[in-house]
Structure 1
Amino acid sequence: MSDTNQTYSISDLAREFEITPRSIRHYEDQKLITPKRNGSQRIYSKGDRVRLQLILRGKRIGFSLSEIREIIDMYDPTAGDEKQTEHLLRKIAERRVALHQQQQDIETMLTELDQLEQKLNQNIEA
């Protein structure tokens, strides 16, 4: 069997990526991956495995499933991946801005908590 014809079961992928089969079925329900079927058994291709890897990478960096779908759906192997790369770079920049804003918000909240804690401790000591 050639490497391009490699297939995987749901348990193979779940074990490899340390996720539950239920998560994989959820991505299938969301039409992010579309395995073939042999009766009730799902048969995942190498392409499905790559898509799952991209989905999980997108989740780790904070993309929503709809954003991940948008990026993955842009991929056209015949047209090259420049358009997808440019779109992904824009999405990364947007995500970076959002994360920096969250970081600033968290810093502000921590400062406010520190101030409140200090004030409460002063009230106890008084």
Structure 2
Amino acid sequence: MSDDRLSLKEMCAKFDVTPRTLRYYEYIELLSPEKEGRARFYTPREVARMTLILRGRRFGFSLEEIRQWLLIYDEKGSRAQLERTVELADRQLVALNAQREDLERAIAELQALHDEVSAILARQDSASGHDG
């Protein structure tokens, strides 16, 4: 085995994923490990692709969007892929900002409910003479 390839086990450890995840990513054509018998080996290209896959997932992109994005590089080169990156990022930034606003609203509402209920409990405790 060459020094620059990772085994399935090493790849799982490097990215903290299960073998099932790597096999699924291979099945949907996100990864193309080298095969020797039943063994799979991941080249630096596959390591780089896995880094991009996980980054894309963290940003909220679907696996299909990531697959298509990676395919652009293979078919049209890096400039087309970079242009698509900007398009995807623009769209996802709008979605994430909307999610953040929803989350901030939910936090504010929950904090208000918490404060209101805590005040009711405090009044009940002081009226009945309980300490807590």
Q: Distance in 1 between matches of 2:117 and 2:14?
A: 50
Q: CA deviation at 1:89?
A: 0.8
> Which residue identity lines up with residue 87 of structure 1 in the other structure?
R
1:1-126 paired onto structure 2 within 5 Å: 6-76=4-74, 79-124=76-121, 125=123
Aligned length: 123
Q: Distance in 1 between matches of 2:97 and 2:13?
A: 34
Q: Distance in 1 between matches of 2:30 and 2:70?
A: 8
> Which residue identity lines up with residue 109 of structure 1 in the other structure?
A
Per-residue CA deviation, residues 18-54 of structure 1 (Å, 9 max, x unaligned), is 3332221221122211223222111323322221121
Q: Which runs of 5+ in 1 are unaligned?
A: none
TM-score (norm 2): 0.79
Aligned to 1:104, the other structure's residue is in SS state helix
Of the two, which has the highest radius of gyration? 2
Q: Distance in 1 between matches of 2:80 and 2:68?
A: 12
**Identity rate, percent:** 36
Q: CA deviation at 1:121?
A: 2.7
Q: Distance in 1 between matches of 2:10 and 2:27?
A: 19
TM-score (norm 1): 0.82
